Structure 1
């Protein structure tokens, strides 16, 4: 059995037991026994402070792929290309992500935009290429996001890590909930939330810990045209305050490196490359609809969250296997981990490469996104 990660420090452990706030030390390293193969990618919680993110011009690489005669040439050598569901997700075998050239990466971005989710098996070369390779990979698709509260490999704040074992967790988890399912679009509170996202597990339970995905394009299409027309006129506040407060309370490593922000996004957004329209709200970060009274906003958001939760015909489930790399378009999908392995002596350790995209484009042309 693989070794397990110990508690961060005895002091932090004691504080957690007492329910007190963790101190802000210079750094909070995660201790680990040396034989763990991916010890260099374990969560590290530097207290380095970062300034607010500045806007930048994002050009989606999928636009370049649209100009190619064969927009799916990177799949020509695949041994299998299988739809996971009709509306969301494709599984690919026989293609090495690590070997893709610039054209292949552009085509990949377009394919993920069209399918929402693409799962690549047998990608040990990619996973073992290391952080410097991950930097180059991610930057092809956009400016890399530095998460304000999560752990990252030491020296590489551009990579977001998820981590749980039998003794500790460094994830955003709501213990008092009856379910671990929290549908969300990553850091949607940013002015320019992520676009194409790459994620892989370095260690996973023998069973459990699957990731659920849902198509926000399909979710929108299920609604009546009259209601969709109304939703297009709406904009909502997305907030990172609760996530920051969670860390400030001493959980998830107890670090907040950048002050939390709130931004206003359209309730229905348009994909810049495909033109598809997608619902853009999520229970984790969306707080209220601008211009509506509280009861009106709450009623609409509860309805939309319930729709997202229950629409299994819009969803796909990724069962992890060693050397799997998953890519999704964060603009048109939502996802959730499933923490169904908590009672087992198992480790789930993953890394996310998160390029930022454009500021969400409203499906309703001319929608004013000011407060």
Structure 2
């Protein structure tokens, strides 16, 4: 049985392996969510499953999600809405259906002032499973006993994500859509902010729908029907080289370069620098030139990007099918940043 939610903030690690964590975590608000990198933990290969998006069941007027106490503020015409007056922990099944639709429409939602005493790990997982089976990350830190959680943690002694971006790069910005190498990549994704610096540690998001729309009609025609290879190999190699876990062997999967959302019908680019490796059927030079153009187009599209800022108690919900994002590691690691992600998987990408 998991610890009671009321005890999470005060719980201290008890196993011998975590004996030294007490001092390290003396300032952490939620030491329960400290990352575990158990190299002996193994997962079976991911199996295909049938999926019907919960947004298809939603009432378009969203009466079970939005109410008279709800305040919303759009961050951009294309994506991003800040929301207060809703506790995600209290949403009904119908409210969660409407949440899926709202996330698909607005791409990124920021729910402020969430009560993590009510929204503990069991409820977090229960909510995320409403949208599909939760991806268990093959290499990242997870929570001991709760492998569904992907943990983001950085402090003075832990700087793993900066290392992954590359210490010799001029910028730490790295646009990606989470685990796009999966046969059935994620959709409605949840990110729970536990500890956050007063300044910095934000996330950049962009609309892959608007990125696609900005291309000329003739160029869009040439992209439709193309497929690209997405790969987990580099991620697995990075973990192995540093003595980290590889919980299942890395997969490589072909996905459409332009995919269609199953609920809104919107078309979106589906390539990203993090995991896309080449255009299927193209020579390497041809693939590199096309992908580099698309990456450059995405990265320079400040008018279809937002910078999401966080405070502890924020829950971010975004649709990985129609967005890309990048961390901004712009704060000194003397400050603690701690968050956890739940990443439900969805349909096999639908070609446009």
TM over 0.5: yes
Task: Tell me the C-alpha RMSD between the 2 structures.
Answer: 1.6
Match of 1:223 among 215, 219, 238: 215
Structure 2 residue 338 is the aligned partner of structure 1 residue 349: yes
Residues 86-105 of structure 1 show CA distances to partners (whole Å, capped at 9, x for unaligned) of: 01111111111111111111
Residues 24-63 of structure 1 show CA distances to partners (whole Å, capped at 9, x for unaligned) of: xxx8998343643311100011221111100011111101
- For residues 303 and 219 of structure 2, what CA distance do their matches in structure 1 show? 20
- On the 8 A contact 1:192/1:359 being kept in 2, the answer is yes
Aligned CA distance change for structure 1 residues 32 and 149 (closer, same or farther; 3 Å)? farther
Residues 212-243 of structure 1 show CA distances to partners (whole Å, capped at 9, x for unaligned) of: 00000000000000000000021000000000
Q: CA deviation at 1:127?
A: 6.5
Q: CA deviation at 1:69?
A: 6.5
- On the 8 A contact 1:269/1:361 being kept in 2, the answer is yes
Which residue does the alignment assign to 1:290?
280
Task: Classify the secondary structure of the residue corresponding to 1:152.
Answer: coil
Q: Which moved more, 1:165-174 or 1:141-150?
A: 165-174
- On the 8 A contact 1:197/1:327 being kept in 2, the answer is yes
Q: CA deviation at 1:188?
A: 0.2
Task: Classify the secondary structure of the residue corresponding to 2:37.
Answer: strand
- For residues 106 and 240 of structure 1, what CA distance do their matches in structure 2 show? 30
TM-score (norm 1): 0.86
- For residues 289 and 190 of structure 1, what CA distance do their matches in structure 2 show? 17
- On the 8 A contact 2:64/2:91 being kept in 1, the answer is no
Which residue does the alignment assign to 2:254?
264
Give 5+ residue unaligned stretches, structure 1.
Answer: 1-26, 364-371
Which residue does the alignment assign to 2:167?
175
Which residue does the alignment assign to 2:317?
327
Structure 2 residue 57 is the aligned partner of structure 1 residue 64: yes
Task: Classify the secondary structure of the residue corresponding to 2:160.
Answer: coil
Which residue does the alignment assign to 2:8?
none
Match of 1:154 among 126, 144, 149: 144
Task: Classify the secondary structure of the residue corresponding to 2:98.
Answer: helix
- For residues 162 and 107 of structure 1, what CA distance do their matches in structure 2 show? 28
Q: CA deviation at 1:292?
A: 0.7
Which residue does the alignment assign to 2:91?
100
Q: CA deviation at 1:126?
A: 4.0
Which residue does the alignment assign to 2:41?
48
Q: Which moved more, 1:159-168 or 1:68-77?
A: 68-77
- For residues 167 and 344 of structure 2, what CA distance do their matches in structure 1 show? 29
Match of 2:67 among 55, 76, 101: 76
Task: Classify the secondary structure of the residue corresponding to 1:75.
Answer: coil
Q: How does 1:83-122 map to 2 (within 5 A)?
A: 83-122=74-113
Q: How does 1:310-325 map to 2 (within 5 A)?
A: 310-325=300-315
Q: Which moved more, 1:52-61 or 1:171-180?
A: 171-180
- On the 8 A contact 1:214/1:314 being kept in 2, the answer is yes
Q: CA deviation at 1:122?
A: 0.7
Which residue does the alignment assign to 2:234?
242
Aligned CA distance change for structure 1 residues 131 and 69 (closer, same or farther; 3 Å)? closer
- For residues 225 and 256 of structure 1, what CA distance do their matches in structure 2 show? 42
- For residues 261 and 30 of structure 1, what CA distance do their matches in structure 2 show? 35
Which residue does the alignment assign to 2:191?
199
